[in-house]
Chains A and B, each alone.
Chain A
């Protein structure tokens, strides 16, 4: 990839590979993922279940359970250092302090037997060398910042005393407590109702832009990222298939999978009760991927070459890459050849 920026990106992921091993098979969950994340930027990582987006996030944090998983290759350069080469104790200092993470299930990512206050102060005492009292004061400020009413008294509460939306707010407060440079939100709003989802997204956007934190939003919902992301990466079967500005990805997608995703969701801003155009077939078995492009069996544009060679990301426009041999022909409008269900 050509580097247009003179400023070094905050995070450079290069040819990242994370595989999972079982006695009978190897699942290449992340198979050669390369992307940049600039300082203060919001990047969306979109794809369906099993495409490797969460494994990508866990690999960045080096949280892949080993066995069965192993980071097989690649580089994760964060602020000039390769995170994959750090010792375990050095890595522990990065987690929580430099990179914060929010998970999908707020109930299971908070410890049910510790108070909210204790869980907030843990990182502050550990990473920021604060005293107990300083940390408690700061914890109160943080809860206030994420919009929990009566923050100081709520510090004594346990996670079960809060609603789903509030727990996710607590998670955001913990993740942002040490002023990280990067916040990873892995399906952070998926378990929430739409009105609460809107609250949490607005909050994340507002806080990260105020604090200058870069934000990596991982989601399966194309709608969620459209409003917030500057750029979007679309993943399918372990690889990034298309990357570009969100205007390009949504306005003029150049990969058949992105086109398929956009066409298969009903939209409130389009006329109703026309038939949906789904992507035909099923998500392939990751332990047994066919040779060539993994999407070709479901693709309306597939040619013979797709069966032999897996396309790599090539430039399809300014700051816009697509991994497709036919990307010049792909577009959203001429609603493809009618996909059969």
Chain B
């Protein structure tokens, strides 16, 4: 635990009671991107604090939903956990090993245990590789087969697991529909038998009828392979459907983290409340009765975030004290942490 001025880095890491250790523990993670000006004489004029001191833990087979609006830092957080973006500060402990201080070679070996599925099923698959080679590439990188026959067998099995026909291995990405491509992305992430998969908006580019198929697939695979998920999304109804716990991010910080039922039944942070009330329900009778909290203004620039609580500029219950210190995450109930002085 750190000092009060740096309180947002306080981390609600909960040891897993059953196995003693969480699969993943993130503490005080920061990713600051320098902003440079000038062409020859470059100087850094500021930092975009994309992720600014977040922490949480994740158990085996658990799903953490990471929600927030665009620019809240949720994608950067996911990438920094996998060391795809170098964190500026903080610790990421995965399967008992500290990743941030590891050498690149060692990290590459660790990547076997961590997968990622990207949002855009069109942009994330190499158009010049066949489906089989896309799915099989991790097997080659990590040398997970002994013979060509075994490789082919493993690829066929992976395709089957995600509900595609092994006969499709010779096709190219453009021959697949959006939903099928996302299945390919999932198969690739599964190839090296990871224990953690970061799912970065895996269904938001898909049509609703296809979304449900992919979500069901993800849930089946989680059960089958005891996977832990970090599910990054802006759609709160999808996040509730799939998550065990949910963390709400705003401008690089986690403002509330709790178990799924707790955060949806008893949201405490004003931002969480506004987010939840903004989700439209497909039920006109309910919608007419529902009170909506409409936030004023836009998300502020992360280059120059507001002082104190970053949400105070849009907060309906902000007081003068909110502009002062950064409110720390504090435990207000069992496994329910909120960063708000008005709660």
Chain A contact residues, CB within 8 Å of chain B: 48-49, 163-166, 193-199, 201-202, 220-224, 226-227, 229, 246-247, 250-251, 260-269, 272-273, 275-280, 282-283, 298, 341
In the docked arrangement, what's the CA distance between A163 and B234, Å?
A: 18
B292 touches A202 (CB 8 A): yes
In the docked arrangement, what's the CA distance between A201 and B287, Å?
A: 13
| One of A227, A268, A277 near B212 (C-beta < 8 A) | A277
| One of B217, B234, B237, B296 near A193 (C-beta < 8 A) | B234
Q: Which residues of B contact A277 (CB under 8 A)?
A: 212
| One of B238, B276, B281 near A226 (C-beta < 8 A) | B281
Known: A265-B208, A283-B210. 19 other contacts (CB 8 A): A48-B209, A194-B275, A198-B294, A198-B295, A222-B208, A223-B280, A250-B283, A263-B212, A265-B212, A266-B240, A266-B241, A267-B281, A268-B279, A272-B241, A272-B260, A273-B260, A276-B216, A276-B241, A283-B177
Q: Which residues of A contact B274 (CB under 8 A)?
A: 195
Check B320 for interface membership: any CB of A closer than 8 A.
Answer: no
Main secondary structure of the interface of B (DSSP, over half): helix
Check B70 for interface membership: any CB of A closer than 8 A.
Answer: yes
Instruction: Indicate whether A264 sits within 8 Å of B299 (C-beta atoms), given known contacts A194-B236, A198-B292.
Output: no
Q: Which residues of A contact B219 (CB under 8 A)?
A: 275
In the docked arrangement, what's the CA distance between A246 and B213, Å?
A: 26
Q: Give residues of chain B (88-129) contacting chain A, Cβ–Cβ below 8 Å.
A: none
Q: Which residues of B contact A49 (CB under 8 A)?
A: 207
Check B211 for interface membership: any CB of A closer than 8 A.
Answer: yes
Nearest A-chain residue to B290, judged by Cβ = A227
In the docked arrangement, what's the CA distance between A222 and B163, Å?
A: 27
A198 touches B212 (CB 8 A): no
How many whole Å from B94's CB to the nearest CB in chain A?
26
Nearest A-chain residue to B238, judged by Cβ = A266
Chain B contact residues, CB within 8 Å of chain A: 69-70, 163, 177, 179-180, 207-213, 215-217, 219, 234, 236-238, 240-242, 260-261, 264, 274-288, 290, 292, 294-296, 298-299
| One of B237, B284, B294 near A266 (C-beta < 8 A) | B237
In the docked arrangement, what's the CA distance between A138 and B74, Å?
A: 41
A341 touches B217 (CB 8 A): yes
A226 touches B213 (CB 8 A): no
Q: What are 14 inter-chain pairs, A to B, with CB distance below 8 A?
A: A163-B298, A194-B236, A198-B280, A199-B296, A226-B283, A250-B282, A251-B284, A264-B211, A265-B211, A268-B237, A273-B241, A275-B216, A278-B210, A341-B213
Q: Which residues of A contact B208 (CB under 8 A)?
A: 48, 220-222, 261, 264-265
A195 touches B216 (CB 8 A): no
A272 touches B261 (CB 8 A): yes
| One of B277, B290, B298 near A196 (C-beta < 8 A) | B298
In the docked arrangement, what's the CA distance between A280 and B214, Å?
A: 11
| One of B209, B260, B284, B298 near A246 (C-beta < 8 A) | B284
B70 touches A193 (CB 8 A): yes
Q: Which residues of A contact B217 (CB under 8 A)?
A: 341
| One of A202, A222, A278, A280 near B294 (C-beta < 8 A) | A202
In the docked arrangement, what's the CA distance between A222 and B211, Å?
A: 14
Instruction: Indicate whether A166 sits within 8 Å of B237 (C-beta atoms), given known contacts A272-B260, A278-B212.
Output: no
Nearest B-chain residue to A278, judged by Cβ = B212
| One of B207, B284, B299 near A283 (C-beta < 8 A) | B207
B237 touches A267 (CB 8 A): yes
In the docked arrangement, what's the CA distance between A193 and B271, Å?
A: 13
Nearest B-chain residue to A236, judged by Cβ = B209
A276 touches B215 (CB 8 A): yes
Instruction: Indicate whether A268 sits within 8 Å of B163 (C-beta atoms), given known contacts A226-B280, A250-B283.
Output: no
Q: Which of A201, A262, A280, A341 has the most CB of B within 10 A?
A: A341
| One of A227, A266, A279, A283 near B215 (C-beta < 8 A) | A266
A268 touches B234 (CB 8 A): no
In the docked arrangement, what's the CA distance between A280 and B284, Å?
A: 26
A268 touches B299 (CB 8 A): no
Q: Which residues of B contact A260 (CB under 8 A)?
A: 209
B236 touches A264 (CB 8 A): no
Q: Which residues of B contact A202 (CB under 8 A)?
A: 292, 294
In the docked arrangement, what's the CA distance between A272 and B209, Å?
A: 18
How many whole Å from B72's CB to the nearest CB in chain A?
9
A268 touches B236 (CB 8 A): yes
B241 touches A227 (CB 8 A): no
Q: Which residues of A contact B69 (CB under 8 A)?
A: 193-196
Instruction: Indicate whether A272 sits within 8 Å of B292 (C-beta atoms), given known contacts A220-B208, A223-B282.
Output: no
A268 touches B207 (CB 8 A): no
In the docked arrangement, what's the CA distance between A278 and B284, Å?
A: 22
In the docked arrangement, what's the CA distance between A280 and B210, Å?
A: 8
B281 touches A268 (CB 8 A): yes
Q: Which residues of B contact A262 (CB under 8 A)?
A: 282
How many whole Å from A41's CB to the nearest CB in chain B?
14
In the docked arrangement, what's the CA distance between A272 and B86, Å?
A: 36
